[in-house]
Structure 1
Amino acid sequence: MRTALTRPALGLGLALSLAGCGINSIPTAEENVKAKWAEVQNNYQRRADLIPNLVSTVRAAGAQEKDILTQVTQARASASQVQLSGDQLTDPQAMANFARAQGAVTLSLQRLQEAYPELKSQGNYTTLMSQLEGTENRIAIARNDYNQAVQSYNTQIRTFPDAIGARIFYGAKPITPFTATTPGAETAPKVDFGNAG
């Protein structure tokens, strides 16, 4: 009779101890990080999709400054080639390469905006630049959400009792947060759409 009661009690005790060491919370936190990263990529893709429309609008307005159009197109193509999957989020070098490629797109768009003051009065250009500005804001928010999820995950896999389950069952490694790698990225760029009063 004692054995019949001991087995269920041991099973319950084992289940509670596993639950207390992150057996379920670690994969949940990791999937949250991956979902936040997918949102970052979604916003970068939105920006990449807008760029061809912007380039076409600028080309239609004039053939000057082809060099800047080429830079925008090349930066977009380069950024599209640098992919970062959820499984690579623990690789700081892969994260830096991705951030560098996306930073080049941002810089080329800033140069384009500065080089075409006469286009500010055209509706298509203004609309596209406004959409790109909104997309840049979405990117910033998505990166912030991703970094918060990374901080939570990294803290969870390093603190007791979840650290036990993270190491034993999952071999969890810290995930790399998104950091700015573009020189001068710590300073907000001056964006002037010509609509300030």
Structure 2
Amino acid sequence: MSSSTKSGRPGWIVPAIIIGVLAVIIFIWAMNVKNGAVTRTQNVGESWGNVETSYERRNSLIGNLVKTVEGAANFEKGTLTAVTEARAKASSIQVDASNATPEQLKAFGEAQAGVQSTFGRLLATVENYPVLQSNQNFLKLQDELASTENEIRTARTRYNETVKDYNTYVLRFPNSLFLGGYREKPYFEASAGAEKAPDVNFNIK
């Protein structure tokens, strides 16, 4: 007669307990991995929201600047139209960070670069209008735009940092065994020249 029988305890009890404990440990660990992925997903979404907010603020300020200069005599209407159209195009492109693709981020970046390009041409023409350079609203916009460009750079950097943290977490082994539904997220790469902010110094004396 086996020792387990003598003790009145079936021989499978101990192995079953061990297996049960291991299963609980694995379950808890897997849940922690899952929750970690959820947290990082939310961080990416929040960071991208800050990127969009920064660009929206820039577009809004540029819109206010356009309204400020519209009244200038003989101001180049074609330049104003180009800026307005570029802003409208940029505003129409929305990106869902949870399902973003490299192509979507590229289109977003190119649209914002279009705003930056036309805005640069607008600033170049402003120097021909001294009355605008003494406009107090214009001076305020100068400061706000410069600050916003810094916010954009910071927001882009922080977004890419959260994406790196997310990708590292969900792709590394053994996390990847439990996170098959979480795919790698793309980084936001600004279009060529977009890393250089428009010069918003109007050479006001």
TM-score by length of 2: 0.82
Question: How far is the alpha carbon of 1:135 from its aligned partner?
Answer: 1.3
Corresponding residue of 1:185: 194
Distance in 2, Cα, partners of 1:33 & 1:147: 8
> Which structure has the larger Rg?
2
Deviates further, 6-15 or 144-153? 6-15
AA partner of residue 47 (structure 1): R
Distance in 2, Cα, partners of 1:186 & 1:161: 37
Corresponding residue of 1:14: 26
Aligned length: 190
Aligned CA RMSD, in angstroms, stands at 2.3
Match of 1:113 among 98, 123, 145: 123
Within a 5 Å distance, the mapping from 1:4-43 to structure 2 comes to 5-6=17-18, 9-19=21-31, 22-43=33-54
Are 1:46 and 2:57 an aligned pair?
yes
Residues 1:79 and 1:186: Cα distance change in structure 2 (over 3 Å): closer
Unaligned runs of 5+ in 2: 1-8
Distance in 2, Cα, partners of 1:42 & 1:189: 18
Deviates further, 144-153 or 39-48? 39-48
Residues 1:164 and 1:195: Cα distance change in structure 2 (over 3 Å): farther
Residues 1:130 and 1:162: Cα distance change in structure 2 (over 3 Å): same
Q: For the Cα contact (< 8 Å) 2:116–2:198, is it kept in 1?
A: no
Q: Determine what percentage of the aligned residue pairs are the same residue.
A: 35
Question: How far is the alpha carbon of 1:69 from its aligned partner?
Answer: 0.8
Residues 1:18 and 1:5: Cα distance change in structure 2 (over 3 Å): same
Task: Return the structure number with greater relative CO, CA threshold 8 A, min gap 6.
Answer: 1
1:35-85 deviations in Å (ceiling 9; x for gaps): 100111111222222222211110123332111111110110010111111
Unaligned runs of 5+ in 1: none
